[in-house]
Structure 1
Amino acid sequence: MNLSHYTKEFRYNLQLAYPVILGMLGHTLIGIVDKLMVGNLGSAELAAVSLGNSFVFVAMSIGIGFSTAITPIVAEGDAEKDQLKVRSTFHHGLFLCTVLGLVLFAIVFLAKPLMYVMGQPAEVIALALPYLGWTAFSLIPMVMYQGYKQFADGLSMTKYSMYAIVMANVVHVPINYALIYGVWIFPELGVTGAGLGTVISRVMMVLFMHWMLARNERLGVYFKGFTFDEIKKVTVRKIVNLGLPSSMQMLFEVALFTSAVWLCGNIGKTSQAANEIALSLATITFMFAMGLSVTAMIRVGNQRGLNDYKNLVVVARSIFLLVLLVEAVFALGFILLNDFLPPFFLDVDNVSQLADNTEVIAIAAQLLIVAAIFQVSDGVQVVVLGALRGLQDVKIPMYITFVAYWIVGFPVSFYLGKYTEWRAVGVWIGLLAGLTAAALFLYLRFNHLTKKLIYEQEKAEFEALDRHGG
């Protein structure tokens, strides 16, 4: 099969992916706005946001990962034109996301005392505790929003989440500025103001998402007549069986990156702040891969519903090729701009912070070189994971991601960061090792599974023809 078979799919892939990418960039921008505004207060404040977000990101990864179970089932039901299946999946998924959001808030809020046993600087902990309280509460509307988003994505209506995120950012920036610095009638709350601003923007985001979807004529049937009597154990079990392993896959990766925050925090506040800067920039580029991962999940789910496994492979590989090209461009950008980007996150004109800021910029520049190298691995692993979710294959990938990140990646990060002169750079080399292992073995899993499905389908067709001929 020549290259044109794959490249001809690029246009439709990008049509589906670009709203998801813009939506995810907007969602990431909420956190980056916090860091940019708080970074002007000092390196301790930036490190506090980093520490607080490390707890929230772990919980958020569970919520987002779990919600991805909704998309492939909805996409499959949409291809089968099974309206009842789509409705049931949406209602059950939204119910489970709401419950999960409440549980995650409670867990993160109660976990705040863990900061004292993590070896973090005392001044950073004092600033991080109130910030974490508010951002933990924002998990409730955040995970509820995911229920709506994954439903719309499954119907290939990917623009709605983009609109909701744009609205959230329009609200977030001025509210954050007012609450952090104290403008007009608003008190000057510093780091705490950033957390409160995140809560307000996420509540408005989920309300806006509901309003947009409910008023759509095509979707009206899915928003009428909901009762708790519709909640059935069999459907709950199906979503949980897909959602729980998916949440673990995302948890294993996010927890690895969170461990990098903690390891860099043990090295020192400048390493922690540098890690946060590099991680913020790498997260922006990762959103492009995440958008293509959602595209893979939708399109593979559709092809599964149509039982067209040969075209499924073509579609999936076209997305794999596309992410390779996109991430290679970002890798080159990080290499060329590694010294230029970090200063944007700090107040370089603050003379009292000059020594700290100079060290932070130097470390962050080195980390961006490592980030440039793992761009490709990171992009491939998340897109292949999306394709596997579209096939509703989640358990084996869960084991693969655990081994890649925690048997391969974390030990390398821990050893190089703690016992060598590589320090923060060594921590990131461990991230590179884990992501590369995940990309390789997830692709081998996808290749094995699709070959098996095509073989079984061809065998069944041959046997059916043989019986008919007989």
Structure 2
Amino acid sequence: MRQLNTFKLNIKNYTSEFRTNIKLAWPVILGMLGHTFVGLIDNIMVGQLGTAQLAAVSLGNSFIFIAMSIGIGFSTAITPLVAEADAENDAVKAKSSLKHGVFLCTVLGITVFLLTILAKPLMYLMDQPSEVVELAIPYLDLVAFSLVPLIIFQGYKQFADGLSMTRYPMYATLIANIVNVVLNYILIFGKFGFPQMGIIGAALGTLVSRFVMWFYLWWLLRGNEKSKELVTKIKLFVLDGKMIKKILSLGFPSALQMFFEVAIFTSAIWLSGVLGKNPQAANQIALNLASMTFMVAMGMSVAAMVRVGNQKGLQSFKELRRIAFSIFLLTIFFEIVFATFFLLFHEYLPQIYVDMNDVDNYIDNREVISIASKLLIAAAIFQISDGIQVVVLGALRGMQDVLIPTVITFISYWMIGFPVSYFLGKSNAYGSFGIWLGLLAGLTAAAILLFLRFNYMTNKLIKSNYGTT
């Protein structure tokens, strides 16, 4: 009985933080889910045009995801710096983190846009279906330009997250998503007198919505008493070399971390394309569904980054560890629910993406559903490892520990995961399912190794802190 009471007491040390964790994370989760839901709507709308169009969007977005991962990963350097400054009540440091972060995000946004455009010819060298490539290239031109406002938005978003003002990015994302859905409907299908533009219409909707998202978030922050002075009267080109170096030292490894993860999922798109347009379309469906549950883990990762960053600023390392473990535990609960959901409905979920009444494409659509339903079984299995790796990574970023985690992500995804995907994903092996077994292997390795790193670092900080007191 005493052991049971002790267990309950120990668990309560973590569950008592659940409300605070959810309060901080839910606006991030809702905003990200809204953004992913628009991706779902995009795919459903484009899927009505045919499997080739759906595969083309998948191929075009595979380039965008890589560029986006670099920008979003880099921008996460702003959050722990602002969270630390917020805990220290240092407004000058917080404003400097924003100014230098947005400047670097702007430069990076323009750079990845240009690099994405220059990378277009690679599509012809990747053994992808020619029909898909021809459709993907004009789509990519417009969506690539939308990376500029998106990455600048990310700079402001990470700043707001660092101040624990996670609702504002959520509002901006939801407004932009509404704009995107409306424009997609009008432009893809040619409603209200507009020409029917197909997937080009989807690209235009994305471009406009990302400009709306950026300006609306800045407007919200400008109207808040806490953040108004921090986001106005900024001399963007009066820069401090030390702060630039600090953000680069955190942002570059963080960008690589996200790049390594997103790139392996992108490789799954390309490997699926080698198998044909139907496996590629099925991969897009499964990836879109898995991305929706991943957004919950991403929200928890932001909560971990902010709360750990706050405790680092306060030099309270035992609390840092306890709070981080509470977020890890909460994430596991969520991921178990998602895994169960995918297992129960893996045969039904893919059917919402294609028109089974389309007689001309019935055979293709049937094959896409069959492949996607199997991939969702793999997605169900890696839910827990996927959630844990991203939340622990968020906690490590909050501690401003980025170099070793970057090495870990590279080893996990590209020395463990990718070889499994490549060899098991061939047509004479397990095909699409083999590709996703590689994703499972990489995510599981990352979850284990990153957790070991966090455990080591927090124990080390606690011991050193006690040794100096």
TM-score with structure 1 setting the length:
0.97
Task: Tell me, yes or no, if structure 1 residue 119 matches structure 2 residue 131.
Answer: no
CA–CA distance in structure 2, aligned partners of residues 88 and 193 of structure 1: 39
Is the deviation greater in 211-220 or in 407-416? 211-220
Aligned pair count? 461
Partner of 2:312: 304
SS in 1 for 2:361: helix
CA–CA distance in structure 2, aligned partners of residues 228 and 372 of structure 1: 45
Partner of 1:415: 423
CA–CA distance in structure 1, aligned partners of residues 39 and 289 of structure 2: 11
Partner of 1:168: 176
CA–CA distance in structure 2, aligned partners of residues 108 and 179 of structure 1: 24
CA–CA distance in structure 1, aligned partners of residues 127 and 186 of structure 2: 32
SS in 2 for 1:313: helix
Task: Tell me, yes or no, if structure 1 residue 315 matches structure 2 residue 314.
Answer: no
Give the CA deviation at 1:220. 1.6
Query: What RMSD in Å do the two structures reach over aligned CA positions?
Result: 0.9
2:155 to 147, 152, 170: 147
Checking the alignment, whether the CA contact within 8 Å between 1:289 and 1:379 is kept in structure 2 is yes
Gaps of 5+ in 1: 462-470
Task: Tell me, yes or no, if structure 1 residue 333 matches structure 2 residue 341.
Answer: yes
2:73 to 65, 78, 96: 65
Is the deviation greater in 420-429 or in 283-292? 420-429
Partner of 1:29: 37
CA–CA distance in structure 2, aligned partners of residues 389 and 235 of structure 1: 17
Partner of 1:136: 144
Task: Tell me, yes or no, if structure 1 residue 187 matches structure 2 residue 195.
Answer: yes
SS in 2 for 1:2: helix
1:348 to 346, 349, 356: 356
- Residue type of the partner of 2:173? I
Partner of 1:99: 107
SS in 2 for 1:41: coil
Task: Tell me, yes or no, if structure 1 residue 273 matches structure 2 residue 273.
Answer: no
Partner of 2:241: 233
Structure 1 residues 285-316: Cα deviation after superposition (integer angstroms, max 9, x where no partner)? 00000000000000000000000000100000
Task: Tell me, yes or no, if structure 1 residue 445 matches structure 2 residue 440.
Answer: no
Structure 1 residues 142-175: Cα deviation after superposition (integer angstroms, max 9, x where no partner)? 0010011000000000000110011011111111
Give the CA deviation at 1:230. 3.1
Partner of 2:440: 432
Structure 1 residues 191-240: Cα deviation after superposition (integer angstroms, max 9, x where no partner)? 11111110011111101111111111221211332214531111011001
Checking the alignment, whether the CA contact within 8 Å between 2:78 and 2:97 is kept in structure 1 is yes
Is the deviation greater in 243-252 or in 23-32? 23-32
Give the CA deviation at 1:31. 2.3
CA–CA distance in structure 1, aligned partners of residues 128 and 59 of structure 2: 9
Gaps of 5+ in 2: 1-8
CA–CA distance in structure 1, aligned partners of residues 234 and 86 of structure 2: 20
Checking the alignment, whether the CA contact within 8 Å between 1:416 and 1:427 is kept in structure 2 is yes
Partner of 2:463: 455
Checking the alignment, whether the CA contact within 8 Å between 2:100 and 2:236 is kept in structure 1 is no
Partner of 1:392: 400
CA–CA distance in structure 2, aligned partners of residues 144 and 28 of structure 1: 19
Checking the alignment, whether the CA contact within 8 Å between 2:423 and 2:429 is kept in structure 1 is no
- Residue type of the partner of 2:313? G
Give the CA deviation at 1:419. 6.0
Partner of 2:14: 6
Task: Tell me, yes or no, if structure 1 residue 55 matches structure 2 residue 67.
Answer: no
CA–CA distance in structure 2, aligned partners of residues 82 and 62 of structure 1: 29
Structure 1 residues 327-356: Cα deviation after superposition (integer angstroms, max 9, x where no partner)? 000000000000010010111110111100
Checking the alignment, whether the CA contact within 8 Å between 1:401 and 1:438 is kept in structure 2 is yes
Is the deviation greater in 225-234 or in 89-98? 225-234
Checking the alignment, whether the CA contact within 8 Å between 2:218 and 2:231 is kept in structure 1 is no
Partner of 1:466: none
CA–CA distance in structure 1, aligned partners of residues 244 and 268 of structure 2: 35
Partner of 1:464: none
Give the CA deviation at 1:27. 1.7
Partner of 2:117: 109
CA–CA distance in structure 2, aligned partners of residues 230 and 307 of structure 1: 31
Checking the alignment, whether the CA contact within 8 Å between 2:46 and 2:199 is kept in structure 1 is yes
Give the CA deviation at 1:421. 3.0
Checking the alignment, whether the CA contact within 8 Å between 2:99 and 2:236 is kept in structure 1 is no
Structure 1 residues 354-411: Cα deviation after superposition (integer angstroms, max 9, x where no partner)? 1001100000000000000000000000000000000000000000000000000000
CA–CA distance in structure 2, aligned partners of residues 226 and 148 of structure 1: 13
User: Structure 1: which 4+ aligned runs deviate by more than 2 Å?
Assistant: 29-33
- Residue type of the partner of 1:272? Q
Task: Tell me, yes or no, if structure 1 residue 178 matches structure 2 residue 186.
Answer: yes
CA–CA distance in structure 2, aligned partners of residues 27 and 244 of structure 1: 25
Checking the alignment, whether the CA contact within 8 Å between 1:56 and 1:136 is kept in structure 2 is yes
Partner of 1:405: 413
CA–CA distance in structure 2, aligned partners of residues 272 and 228 of structure 1: 43
Checking the alignment, whether the CA contact within 8 Å between 1:30 and 1:198 is kept in structure 2 is no
Partner of 1:295: 303
